[in-house]
Structure 1
Amino acid sequence: MHIMFVCTGNICRSPMGELLMSRYLANTTVQVTSAGTRGLPMHQIDPSSARLMDSVGIDSSGFRSRRLTREMAESADLILCFESSQRKEIVTVAPKAVRYTFLLDDFANMCRYSAEHGLVKGTTIQERLQSVIDASSFIRPLIAAPKDIADPHGREYAKFRQAAEETNRALRTILTSMRKHYRVEPAPVRPQIARPDFNSIIYAS
């Protein structure tokens, strides 16, 4: 399975999504990449995003941005973006991707709903994620409207931290929902990016 994160410039939000998800799925064969709908190729990650990744032990120095192409989008099995406008741009570039392109918050809500209602199928993380993608048209009307994760580009560090926390919270919702023995747990009062427990979610492909 190939998961792709897409934002606008591919220097702030989508690199954090790629790097965090790559860490969570390090023991699997899932490929994780990212791109930007208007990304300038070969730019480094934004310094504030890099600082946040450094704070959780992720080296982002080798990251370089990419501009989304139809070929990239069609090579993915799941595309996760951050704003509804980005989803529109993605499916304009690659109409076939409409079936597997979601706002990150929307897909997290779909995964939670699927887990709570026994809809997640399969034995591997790839199969279980695919079962949610396949059922998405049925699930979408049954869950709350998704929320954008705002672009922190050019803003203060606190906005980057907020974007990182929202991204990390959504990723953890997705991955905990894919556990074979899912259980409903109370949400933490204030999720933090400072110390996500990468070892608490372990998958084998």
Structure 2
Amino acid sequence: MTTLRILTICTGNICRSPFAAKLLASKLDRTQFKVASAGTSAMLGDPMQETMQRIAADMGVRWRDEHSARVLTHGLVGQADLILGMEREHRSQAAKLQPSAVRRAFTLLEFAHIVSSINDDRLQQLLFLNRGSPTAAIDAVMRMRGVVPRLNPEQLYDLQDPFGKSRQTYARSAAHIDQAVDQIVSFFQRTAKLTAASQDGPSAIVGMQDRK
């Protein structure tokens, strides 16, 4: 079974992106997903910010290894099947490092918005169209990127950087990340359940259309 690689990106890689990565890793099947994080301006080796660590612990998030910040590189971008920036600028930085990554680079809130807008019938059709691809679920979201109405204003795709701000700001950022992660995890769970049906062939699609 193919392992999907998800890369979360923020600026310093000590608040938002490691928190999002830890949440995703704790809620997704570890045999099917590998989640990592990086920062566009990270100081190599910095630990996760203490306030965010405490908030994560309060939410029951545990991890085996201590976090160590690292800088976003061409290699990390190239290895990722899905790139989730905390802001549009992080998404852009990934695409600058590797232009071909632009299609699979989203902000966290953007990806969550798109996947939560795809109903099961449409998702099953998309999975059938992308059958045979190890990244069929992500390919489905790419197809819907220009179809799902965009958020307005565009700033709604960005997660505020809590660094240096109040604990309330950290908590608010963590809550937004947690909500987005739940939507993304739900999408991948739905994908897993629908994949078998999408592999049944055209009859499955016809059956869905007949029910409408």
Normalized against structure 2, the TM-score is what? 0.76
Q: Deviations over 1:127-152 (max 9, x none)?
A: 56324333144335x34244211000
1:129 aligns to 2:132 (yes or no): no
Structure-1 separation of matches of 2:30 and 2:77: 24
The residue that corresponds to 1:172 in the other structure is 182
- Note closer, same or farther for the CA distance 1:87–1:131 as it changes in structure 2 (3 Å cut): closer
Secondary structure of 2:8's aligned partner: strand
Q: Deviations over 1:151-205 (max 9, x none)?
A: 00011111111111000101111222344379xxxxxxxxxxxxxxxxxxxxxxx
Structure-2 separation of matches of 1:94 and 1:27: 27
Alignment counterpart, residue 63 of structure 1, candidates 64, 67, 71 = 67
- The one of the two structures with greater contact order (alpha-carbon pairs below 8 A, sep at least 6) is 1
CA RMSD of aligned residues (A): 2.2
Q: Which has the higher helix share?
A: 2
Structure-2 separation of matches of 1:118 and 1:133: 11
The residue that corresponds to 2:13 in the other structure is 10
1:91 aligns to 2:101 (yes or no): no
In structure 2, list runs of 5 or more residues that go unmatched: 195-212
Structure 1 contact 37–68 (Cα < 8 Å) conserved: yes
1:73 aligns to 2:77 (yes or no): yes
1:21 aligns to 2:24 (yes or no): yes
- Give the partner amino acid of 2:141: I
- Note closer, same or farther for the CA distance 1:132–1:171 as it changes in structure 2 (3 Å cut): farther
Secondary structure of 1:119's aligned partner: helix
Structure-2 separation of matches of 1:150 and 1:62: 24
Most deviating of 42-51 and 113-122: 113-122
Q: Write out aligned runs for 1:154-193 (5 A).
A: 154-180=164-190
Structure 1 contact 115–177 (Cα < 8 Å) conserved: no
Which structure would you say has the larger Rg?
2
1:148 aligns to 2:158 (yes or no): yes
The residue that corresponds to 1:46 in the other structure is 49
Q: Write out aligned runs for 1:105-124 (5 A).
A: 105-115=109-119, 118-120=122-124, 121=127
Structure-1 separation of matches of 2:119 and 2:35: 23
Q: Deviations over 1:85-143 (max 9, x none)?
A: 222222112212101000111111110122366235279xx756324333144335x34
Structure-2 separation of matches of 1:104 and 1:16: 12
The residue that corresponds to 2:199 in the other structure is none
Equivalent pairs, count:
179
- Give the partner amino acid of 1:17: A
Secondary structure of 2:6's aligned partner: strand
TM superposition shift of 1:58: 2.5
Secondary structure of 2:106's aligned partner: strand
Normalized against structure 1, the TM-score is what? 0.78
Secondary structure of 1:2's aligned partner: strand
The residue that corresponds to 2:201 in the other structure is none
